[in-house]
Amino acid sequence: MQQPFPGMDPYLEGEMWQEFHTTLANQIRSSLLQQLPSKYTALLNKRYVIEQAGLSLFDIVPKQIFYPDINVSELNNDRDTSIVKAKKIATPSITLFSPIPEKVPVLRVEIRDIAKRRLVTVVEILSPANKQGKGYWDYMEKRGVLMQTNTHLLELDLLRLGKRLPLLGGKLPDVPYFVFLSRFTHRPATSVWPIELRETLPSVPVPLLPPDPDIILDLQTALEDCFKLVGYQRLLDYSIEPPPPLFSESDLEWIKSKLADFFTSKK
């Protein structure tokens, strides 16, 4: 067993998220390429988004830093130079951090028709940058443009933190993860897969151009392949509580139980 949880690992939302995001995109692309008819290809598209410090899932937590008093000796030229007058400089009692915008690379998978160079399907793995602040609205604008084209959109929301997609006609269930599929042939309808913390990730359809049948994206296998390749179970700090938002007491107890079972099995 390579990972402690049956499905998504909530600890991936911390410092390893950017690395995991890239690895998952590559695994998804590899899976799709093995199934695509020869008329299609799957490409990785890298773009950069601006992430404001303070909106990241892995913010630096400011700590109070206390400094000792500093005395500066100044010569008083109006008096005997052998007499030194000490002036005390006010020192800060706390150091905080100024937000500095950072360019963050984001990968998505694009299925294209080779002959016509047409964009057929986009597989978007939502990132912290496009779920919070200005980045959320920038993503909504780009998403709105894409929704007006003949391009399918498959969105993977494997982050608990941040805003959900704005959908009409009902309320999304209170679960940590989602998959959303918008087929251009069915718009504005959007298929939704809610994913519980204790569930394995689903296999979902990836549509192509009509009349070609869907191919299948096995998200659980893609996740497991990421763990096999990188070994996140050796890199993540499971000795602390998962990154925010806070889990319920029952979910937190379940997480601790799964971790205990995992590390016991490794002995």
Number of domain units in the chain? 1
Assigned domain for 99 exists: no
Q: For residue 246, what are the domain limits?
A: 10-60+104-265
54 found inside a domain: yes
pLDDT tens by residue, 4-44: 999 999 999 988 999 999 999 999 999 999 999 999 999 99
Query: Does the reported pTM lie above 0.75?
Result: yes
Q: What is the pLDDT of residue 81?
A: 52
76 in any annotated domain: no
120 and 151 Cβ atoms separated by less than 8 Å:
yes
pLDDT score, position 85: 60
- Residue 164 pLDDT more than 90? yes
pLDDT of 102 strictly over 80:
no
Whether residue 69 lies inside any domain: the answer is no
User: Residue 211 falls within a domain, yes or no?
Assistant: yes
Angle of CA points 101, 107, 112, to nearest 5°: 140
pLDDT for position 65:
30
> What pLDDT, on a 0 to 100 scale, did the predictor assign at position 93?
83
Query: How confident is the model at residue 63, as a pLDDT?
Result: 32
Measured CA distances, 221 to 153, 200, 234, 249 (Å): 21, 10, 19, 29
